[in-house]
Amino acid sequence: MPGFTLMMRAGQAAFRQLMQRWPDVRRVAVFCGKGNNAGDGYIVAGLARETGLAVSLIQLGDASDLRGDAARARDWALERDVVIWQGPLQHRADVTVDADVIVDALLGTGLKGPVRQPYAEMIDSINAASTPVLALDIPSGVDADTGGVLGTAVMADLTITFIGRKIGLHTGDGLECRGELAYADLGVPSAVFRRIIGCPLLSFPELEEPYRLPSRGTNVYKQALGHIAVVGGDTNMGGAPIMAAEAALRVGAGMVTLVTRGAHRPAVLARRPEIMVADADDVEQRQTALQRASCLVVGPGLGTGSWGEKLLREALAQSKPTVLDADGLNLFAAQGLTATGPLIVTPHTGEAARLLSQDGARVQADRPAAVLQLATRVGGVAVLKGAGTVIASQAQAVRNPGSTYASVGSPALLGICAHGNPGMASAGMGDVLSGVIAGCLCQGLGPAAAAVMGTCLHSYAGDLAAAEFGRRSLLATDLLPRLISALVDLERAGR
């Protein structure tokens, strides 16, 4: 398929999006760089002129330096009376003031390393203009493979991406820079996509095998549905393990025992009498609960003192499938511990940084790489929470020699969660997540499948709750009824 054909289709798709999103637009400013991304911008400019819109095309560098398909796009736009503006840099920002919409065609997906001048100054000018922005393929300054911002990046209101769905548009800072997202495959044959093993965008309603929860037979009994021991809740931190335990029950665990301070027993039974309680300070009760459990959740409200460390070490010694979260992660990192059983870790950026002995900025700059390092560090499954939660597994490699992130014998990206919202940045959300994942784990899903199913179910419920309560008022326990409704929908669909 000729490159210029693809470029024309990209420009047409982008112009359609522009007119659909801003139907009253009269003046468009198109900012172009030197590569094929600039060629897409020239096509948009030409189409805008054909429609009768006023167009200002600002070219960084000399337009005569464009080559190949981008040069053809430039000539095509010139034939439609597009005027290329190449004035001094300090005056170029003035054009944005007179535009109803800015089109960002400065830098495409090939950007490596920090944005250099004069592009950095132009990006800052675009962001300062308070004018709606349409980004072509990816906002300039965002790393397409990581979602990191390479010094500075355009803050788009709408991004239309072409052919492939870039990882950087779905996680990290790139998720915020992109604004709304549109996708155009440009008519690329489906056979091309079937040859690619990429990084899936994981949507809860669309999850299929191997991520489905097993169906329940008529003669099922509670012991067959797993027994979870939730370990945590030091003094004044009893709420966290209660939320984890209740979430585990709500997603279908057969039984849940909370191993916690004895003082928390009345609160547990008042909140949810279906939860059993073992006094963590009673050696016999504690050890019996750990031995009977089929899988463990360790960390919610655990604290980082000697009490929590003792419980963590005892839990890891059981060599049972374990979900490790919160203070369990901090202790695991601080003490340099390892696990002998299957392990799922669910860190946020700060906890991931401690596990990897890095700073948080480095983790956030390349979340796909960080989650792969986490999976290797713990020898299991890692769920790196945050905007665009990323999941990786050490045990489930994917054969794809051409992929940056997946190859035989190395940890593999399982995907990026398609759900979640800023309202979920509140206390207790991680505790609920750990319980949901454990609830999936104890019903027969393997660690990788449980992490995917649990993460997607949890964030999907978060979106349902945010739609009802708003993001500012969202609480972790608001997710529990939405977990129920999401699972009911699966049951009614025969899944």
Helix axes 36-50, 68-78, angle to 10 degrees: 20
The mean pLDDT of the chain is 92
The two three-digit tokens of residue 242, written as one number: 């209660």
Query: pLDDT at residue 94 above 70?
Result: no
State which fold the 204-492 domain adopts.
UDP-N-acetylmuramoyl-L-alanine:D-glutamate ligase (3.40.1190)
In percent, how much of the chain has pLDDT > 70? Answer: 95
The stretch 239-265 carries a mean pLDDT of 97
Query: pLDDT at residue 401 above 70?
Result: no
Query: pLDDT at residue 405 above 70?
Result: no
SS (H, E, C) the chain: CCHHHHHHHHHHHHHHHHHHHCCCCCEEEEEECCCHHHHHHHHHHHHHHHCCCEEEEEECCCHHHCCHHHHHHHHHHHCCCCCEECCCHHHHHHHHHCCCEEEEECCCCCCCCCCCCCHHHHHHHHHHCCCCEEEECCCCCECCCCCCECCCCCCCCEEEEECCCCHHHCCCHHHHHCCEEEEECCCCCHHHHHCCCCCCEECHHHCCCCCCCCCCCCCCCHHHHCEEEEECCCCCCCHHHHHHHHHHHHCCCCEEEEEECHHHHHHHHHHCCCCEEEECCCHHHHHHHHHHCCEEEECCCCCCCHHHHHHHHHHHCCCCCEEECCHHHHHHHHCCCCCCCCEEECCCHHHHHHHHCCCHHHHHHCHHHHHHHHHHHHCCEEEECCCCCEEEECCCCCCCCCCCCCCCCCCEEEEEECCCCHHHCCCCHHHHHHHHHHHHHCCCCCHHHHHHHHHHHHHHHHHHHHHHHCCCCCCHHHHHHHHHHHHHHHHHCCC
Distant-in-sequence, close-in-space partners of 283: CB < 8 Å, separation ≥ 6 = none
pTM of the model: 0.91
Residue 7 pLDDT: 97
Q: Which has more pLDDT, 338 or 400?
A: 338
The stretch 190-201 carries a mean pLDDT of 83
pLDDT band of 68, cuts 50, 70, 90: very high
Query: pLDDT at residue 69 above 60?
Result: yes
pLDDT band of 403, cuts 50, 70, 90: very low
The two three-digit tokens of residue 455, written as one number: 């993460």
Residue 96 pLDDT: 58
Query: pLDDT at residue 408 above 50?
Result: no
Q: So what's the architecture of 3-196 in CATH?
A: 3-Layer(aba) Sandwich (3.40)
Residue 47 pLDDT: 98
**Among 10-14, 163-167, 226-230, the least confident range:** 163-167
What are the pLDDT digits (tens) for 140-160? 999 999 999 999 999 999 999
**Among 94-108, 174-188, 316-330, the least confident range:** 94-108
Residue 199 pLDDT: 85
The stretch 269-283 carries a mean pLDDT of 97
Query: pLDDT at residue 355 above 90?
Result: yes
104 — phi, psi (to 5°)? Answer: -95, 105
Q: Which amino acid is at 233?
A: G
Query: pLDDT at residue 431 above 70?
Result: yes
What are the pLDDT digits (tens) for 196-211? 777 889 999 999 888 9
Query: pLDDT at residue 39 above 70?
Result: yes
The stretch 322-327 carries a mean pLDDT of 96
The two three-digit tokens of residue 235, written as one number: 């003094």
Could you check whether the bond before residue 2 is cis, i.e. omega within 30 degrees of 0?
A: no
Count of CA atoms in the C-beta half-sphere (13 A) of 433: 30
The two three-digit tokens of residue 371, written as one number: 């989650």
Q: Which residues of 199-233 are buried (b: 16+ CB within 10 A; e: fewer)?
A: bbebebeebeeebebeeeeeeeeeeebbbbbbbbb
The stretch 402-424 carries a mean pLDDT of 75
**Sequence ranges of the chain with CATH classification 3.40.50.10260:** 3-196
The stretch 261-275 carries a mean pLDDT of 96
Distant-in-sequence, close-in-space partners of 17: CB < 8 Å, separation ≥ 6 = 134, 158, 160, 182
Residue 399 pLDDT: 32
Residue 398 pLDDT: 34
**Sequence ranges of the chain with CATH classification 3.40.1190.20:** 204-492
How open is the CA angle 347-348-352, to the nearest 5 degrees?
60
pLDDT band of 400, cuts 50, 70, 90: very low
Residue 192 pLDDT: 86
